[in-house]
Amino acid sequence: MDEKVFESPFGRQKIVIGYGKYAGQASGAVTVRAGDTIVLATAVIAKKPRPDIDFFPLLVDYEERLYAAGRISSSRFIKREGRPSDQAILTARLVDRPIRPLFPKGYRNDVQIVITLLSYDGENDPDILAIIGASTALSISSAPFDGPVSAARVGRINGQLVANPLISEMANSELDLVVACNQGKIMMIEAGANEVSEEIFLEALKFAQENCQPTIDLQKKIQAKVGKPKTEFILETDKEVFTKVKEFLGQKLVEVAFEPEKQIRAEKEEVLRSELLAAFAEEHGDVAVKSAFEKVLVEQARKAILEENRRPDGRGLEDIRPLSAEVGLMPRTHGSGLFQRGETQALTLATLGSPGAEQMIEGVTGEYKKRFMHHYNFPPYSTGEVKPMRSIGRREIGHGALAERALLPVMPAKENFPYTIRLVSEILSSNGSSSMAATCGSTLALMDAGVPISSPVAGIAIGVITAEDGSNFKILTDIAGVEDGAGDMDFKMAGTEKGVTAVQMDIKVAGVTLEVLAEATRHAKTARAKILEVIKQAIGEPRAEMSPYAPRVIVLHINPEKIRDLIGPGGKMINAIIAETGAEIDVEQDGTIMVSSPNKTGLDKAVEWIKNLTHEVKPGETFMGKVTRLMDFGAFVEFLPGQEGLVHISQLAPYRVEKVTDIVKVGDVIPVKVLEIDSQGRINLSLKAAKEEMEGEGK
């Protein structure tokens, strides 16, 4: 089949979408190109719904291929791609989030989106292309997808907003904002920022929305040209069972819907659910009864918020749940912080490591090192559940990355604090927005560990309840779990007193307006200030002293030409230092040497050894050295490790010496003074001058 090609503006360049050449058996397939970066986006929709499930089975996979950048894995043993990298998982989540809400409620057909990176030019990021490609593939398929949706990246470079900048340009940007939009509304936000103001953030949102429009129009054009007829989907709602459940619950519904404690609420829900199943399951089936029960609960919560400003736990719309913060809880960790907001509790542990503990990452961008890591764990006991403990899932990776992004702008530069830093947030109890609790706990742990962050960082989650006709909405500060489930938006914003460092927004409806987001931003700023006060009361600034169990790192700078002297033949010298002192030594090509050890004695010995090995000798310096060889014309003396010079026979004494052995023998330790370094780098020493200098100092 001949390929049909469609183009539109894409920032300062163009985007090209191709249809008809690849993956003909998929329900929808397109290629999306910007520069020389190309992704293949495919969508496959199952013909029948999956039975007996109560969720939408959408699966999004992003396949990052090394061949796209002309690379072969550096591993000696495994050359094909394995499990997705964290970056690939984050990209898949980025695609999933704006697409999921645009399928009709109750849709149960399996849908799989596969994005494959085919070509990568190192300048055009494939994540935006992936979102556009997935939306286009769904739009031209028969799926009941209420798209299209587009996306744009916005940077702020030299004070100016830039749409879809190149990767090299983003190195100088104080904002990295990704926004997905449909016609007139915003579907998803993902942002990292260098403490930008809320005003700049909102301006960038509007700018992104404007720059999404050309690719929305392009997708509509493609859909009109090559799109398949849409499958009609009508949600079969059993109004009879819904009414019966609502009437059966009566006043009991209010008691459950407004129970503030999560576990008590869950217990009451289970009692009512059992009663409902006993009464109606035989006639209407388990799934229908359970579904009706959940809908009744959601309806009750939404109605109370919209009409009475009444939240399930009794708070006002802008109220934050009780806050607490503690530090220094674990005696042997390098830093620890416990943050609690209501029933959500995050314990973050900080570990400081040597520069050699940096994580090596390999991807299409090549190999690079990462010195700051934040990891997030969400064990089943945090929600009072029993589940097998498997490897971490996409949610854990996403939440960990969000908190890491929020903290990155305040982290010290490597030259000022040459440690590898790892944070692990253990969510001990969860009832809403544990990722923002992890951010707050991490700030506490960093300061407790003595990491000189520039400012504390805090975060909060903001929700919204919107009337069905769109006539009214209510913003909720610090959403709890039940409000997250019943609400339309989860807007997480983190930052410092100065400004915003990270934002993430997901929704369950077909978009929110800039008006809603502006109000949510105002609520988030106010709440963040309150949380920062609680953090400061626990620990006002980073500790001046690190834990005695943390390694100490000393940074040395040597002439790069001296690196070979430090390494020695086959690494013999550096390995000897490590073996004898127990220190870790990291060598950079520019001559930066980082020596680390938890043992001060070993650290000091290693530093002195390295200084002696790499010392650049100057005429006039005096050393104590050991005689290593005797010749008729003089004695060779090792005055620094690996550095040897000649004391000519005429420089052994202030008088004529007949034989070298009259003055020194092999093994003697003598003072020597550097007379000169000749054009060939040979060092001439003097015993006579050194003694004269010592005698002069003694007078």
b/e for 125-153, b at 16 or more Cβ within 10 A? bbbbbbbbbbbbbbbbbbbbbbbbbbbbb
Decide if pLDDT at 699 tops 60: no
448-475: per-residue pLDDT in tens? 999 999 999 999 999 999 988 777 899 9
The confidence score (pLDDT) of residue 604 equals 92
> Taking residues 244-261, what's their average pLDDT?
79
CA angle 513, 517, 518 (to 5 degrees): 115
> Taking residues 199-226, what's their average pLDDT?
97
Decide if pLDDT at 245 tops 90: no
> Taking residues 33-44, what's their average pLDDT?
98
CATH of domain 323-538: 3.30.230.70
Encoded amino acid at 491, one letter: F
Of 258-262, 340-344, 426-430, 501-505, minimum mean pLDDT range: 258-262
CB distance 685 to 674 below 8 Å? yes
> Taking residues 535-542, what's their average pLDDT?
97
The confidence score (pLDDT) of residue 698 equals 62
The confidence score (pLDDT) of residue 272 equals 85
Model confidence, pTM: 0.89
Say whether domain 552-614 belongs to CATH 2.30.110.10: no
168-189: per-residue pLDDT in tens? 999 999 999 999 999 889 999 9
pLDDT confidence tier of residue 663, bands split at 50, 70 and 90: very high
Reading the block at residue 554, the tokens are 């000393």
334-371: per-residue pLDDT in tens? 999 999 999 999 999 999 999 989 999 988 988 889 99
Q: Is 671 helix (H, G, I), strand (E, B) or coil?
A: strand
Distance between CA 72 and CA 95 in Å, rounded?
Answer: 26
> Taking residues 649-657, what's their average pLDDT?
92
Decide if pLDDT at 377 tops 70: yes
DSSP3 helix / strand / coil % (the chain, rounded to 5): 35, 30, 35
The confidence score (pLDDT) of residue 1 equals 61
Decide if pLDDT at 503 tops 60: yes
Where are the chain's structural domains? 4-226, 240-308, 323-538, 552-614, 622-698
pLDDT confidence tier of residue 671, bands split at 50, 70 and 90: very high
The confidence score (pLDDT) of residue 301 equals 85
Decide if pLDDT at 260 tops 90: no
Higher-confidence residue of 82 and 440: namely 440
CB distance 145 to 138 below 8 Å? yes
Higher-confidence residue of 680 and 688: namely 688
The confidence score (pLDDT) of residue 297 equals 84
**Fold identical between 4-226 and 323-538?**
yes
Supply the DSSP string of 259-299, one letter for each residue: --SHHHHHHHHHHHHHHHHHHHHHHH-HHHHHHHHHHHHHH
The confidence score (pLDDT) of residue 208 equals 97
94-130: per-residue pLDDT in tens? 999 999 999 998 899 999 999 999 999 999 999 999 9
Distance between CA 148 and CA 223 in Å, rounded?
Answer: 9
Strands across the sheet containing 592-597 = 552-557, 592-597, 584-587
Closest by Cα among 191, 307, 300 to 250: 300
pLDDT confidence tier of residue 74, bands split at 50, 70 and 90: confident
CATH of domain 622-698: 2.40.50.140
> Taking residues 55-65, what's their average pLDDT?
96
Q: What is the dihedral of CA 503, 508, 514, 516, to 10 degrees?
A: -90
Encoded amino acid at 312, one letter: P
Decide if pLDDT at 148 tops 80: yes
Decide if pLDDT at 262 tops 90: no
The confidence score (pLDDT) of residue 403 equals 98
CATH superfamily to which 4-226 belongs: GHMP Kinase, N-terminal domain (3.30.230.70)
* Length of the chain as a residue count: 699
CB distance 529 to 471 below 8 Å? no
577-607: per-residue pLDDT in tens? 999 999 999 998 999 999 999 888 999 999 9
Q: Give, for 208, the enclosing helix (H) or strand (E).
A: helix 198-226
Reading the block at residue 604, the tokens are 């000091």
| Sequence-ordered list of residues with C-beta below 8 angstroms from that of 183, at least 6 positions apart, any chain | 216
Decide if pLDDT at 498 tops 60: yes
Alpha helices, DSSP H, located in 309-378:
none
Of 71-85, 158-172, 284-298, 528-542, minimum mean pLDDT range: 284-298
**Hey, how many other C-beta atoms are within 10 angstroms of the C-beta on 509?**
16
Question: 570: which DSSP letter?
Answer: G
Higher-confidence residue of 314 and 179: namely 179
Decide if pLDDT at 634 tops 90: yes
> Taking residues 154-165, what's their average pLDDT?
97
Q: To the nearest whole number, what is the mean pLDDT of the chain?
A: 93
